[in-house]
Structure 1
Amino acid sequence: MALKEQPKVKNYTRYPLSSIALYNGVTVLHFVLGGLGIMLGYHSWLGYLLGFLYLAFAFGQMYIIVPLAVCPNCVYYRMENSLCISAMNRVSKKIASEGNPDDFPKRGEGLLCHNHLYMAALFAPILLIIPALILDFSFWVLGLLLVVLGLLLYRFFIVFPQKACNHCYAKYKCPNAKMMNLQDT
């Protein structure tokens, strides 16, 4: 029995608005619920401080650092009338000058590279909420932890491989797509 060859996936120059809304909705919900879980988990000024610091870090890295440092090197920055999965290429064109496409893979190099900061923003609330639950168990905080964990898994197993990365023109240079083995799709 011969193996059926997988059809090539269509790359988007303009992601559908539903995909952009899903990507950004999951991102914002993850950050907000993660910050809320941190704040509620520690019941004191420490919780509010950690929660607000996390929110500033998460939103800052995604919606300020990415358009300034990552997007200018992306293929979507150069494409006429394009719209990437986060729509940050549009923001980047207004606040940053064009970069070098050969530098795009560097987003995954170094200790404080964008990929590591992005993963830190996704995992930090989980790592901060667990000790709060150990110190002072709450079903509300446990629920927030489970929702944030569910959003993380949804992002890794549905959003990235099916809605975002497999349709991206940058996947041929992207270290994330390489890790997911999507460069040949």
Structure 2
Amino acid sequence: MDPSKNPALTQALIELEQHVARDGWDQNVRLFALVDTAQLIAAEPRLAAALAPETVEFGGQIGPQRSYTSIEQEGVPADRPLDELLAGIAWPETVDGAALVIERLMLPPSVQDQLPADEQDADAWVAAHPERQEVRIAVGVLRDGARDCALRLRVKDKDDEVLSGADLVPNLVRALADTLND
């Protein structure tokens, strides 16, 4: 099995993206700590009441699979550039991973080489491009190197249309993984 893949992380990201999707589109960036559910229950037994019964029954795991609980970080500044925001984050050792949900405009690869060099011009050009797609991206990384992404197109706004793959947004994955480094 690929060490960068982790089925529990994939499941946590899909659930997280669906959770965020219930609040609709046009949201600000949302940041989450990922913690091992079994360790969370052991440290905070009263939280077990808030978890799905099958999770508690299996000791914080879904069947034989480990599970992660997402803890949203409140007060994430909406006006800071994402690279600056991520560069200022450091997680304590009790956090097993991190996840980020963000909305962006994407273009097909066939038009990428036409992007203007100036960032402001590029933003305006992308926003006006007829082939642009609005997407919600959920990215998750673990300290052990596992990583994954879930991506929903606004034009295909259904839970069963969410795409998943570790390499969908590699630069964002790398930036989020850097928040876990000491």
Higher helix share: 1
Q: TM-score range by the shorter chain?
A: under 0.3
TM-score, normalised to structure 2, is 0.24
Larger Rg: 1
**More strand by percentage:** 2
